[in-house]
Copies of this chain bind each other. A is one copy, B any other.
Amino acid sequence: MTSSSSASSSSPAPKKDPWDLPDVSGLTVGVLGGTGDQGRGLAYRLARAGQAVIIGSRAAERAQQAADELGMGVEGADNAECARRSDIVIVAVPWDGHARTLEALREELRGKLVVDCVNPLGFDKKGAYAIRPEEGSAAQQAAALLPDSRVTAAFHHLSAVLLADPETEKIDTDVMVLGEVREDCAIVQALAGRIPGMRGIFAGRLRNAHQIESLVANLVSVNRRYKVHAGIRLTDM
């Protein structure tokens, strides 16, 4: 449960069936930034799939209010308590507050499986564009700030509109999961697979997170041009 840097568990040519994923139904999922659109939408989908979910926010009351609105047993807490009580902690805070939030939670996140889903983007008159963090990506920034956590990256390309829409039964998309440790990625893949329509797919190490995070800028262009809420599917699998 401590560092995630063991090389043996991330061999490039595994013999295991890559679709053989663990049972994660008993794990509690915290969502930092769970009152924002993306975090709230993910909390909703995971709770609807039967997962125990705690919404975290800077202010416990706001988290509690969002949790009450979602129902389904979702709880609310301040970010520190949310992190402490969760097995898996999804980071869905705005990019602006990413480093600050994680630095402040280093102790609470020790040993936890952290799932960064932050997309560092800028917007101007020409639309969205990628911001490149000094560390290479938001996920790599998280890994640098949380050396004792098990940092992965996933859930970047989900439409907040579709996540929140109760009429949408299935969200037809793949969730690309990145990380250094096979077992940690497998847990996140299994978690994604709990949501109807989604598959969790291992898609590389954290050093290849930047393009996954910033692909959202392209989806913004697609959505504008075609009036859709585009997601990503990988083909031939």
Interface residues of A (CB under 8 A from B): 12-14, 18, 126-130, 132, 159, 162, 172-173, 176, 178, 201-205, 207-208, 210-212, 214-215, 217-222, 224-226, 228-237
Contact = CB atoms under 8 A, between A and B. Distances in A.
Q: Pick the most buried of A129, A218, A219: most chain B CB atoms within 10 A of its CB.
A: A218
A210 B210 CA distance: 10
25 contacts: A12-B126, A12-B127, A126-B205, A127-B204, A129-B208, A162-B236, A201-B226, A202-B222, A204-B221, A204-B222, A208-B214, A208-B217, A208-B218, A208-B221, A211-B212, A211-B214, A211-B215, A219-B234, A226-B237, A229-B236, A230-B235, A230-B236, A230-B237, A232-B235, A233-B234
A233 B208 CA distance: 20
Nearest to A185: B225
Q: How many copies does the complex hold?
A: 2
A205 B221 contact: yes
Contacts of A203: 218-219, 221-222
Q: Pick the most buried of A13, A159, A207: most chain B CB atoms within 10 A of its CB.
A: A207
Contacts of A162: 236
Given A18-B226, A225-B202, A129 B207 contact: yes
Given A204-B222, A208-B218, A230-B236, 6 more contacts: A12-B127, A128-B208, A132-B132, A203-B219, A212-B218, A230-B234
A178 to B, nearest CB: 8
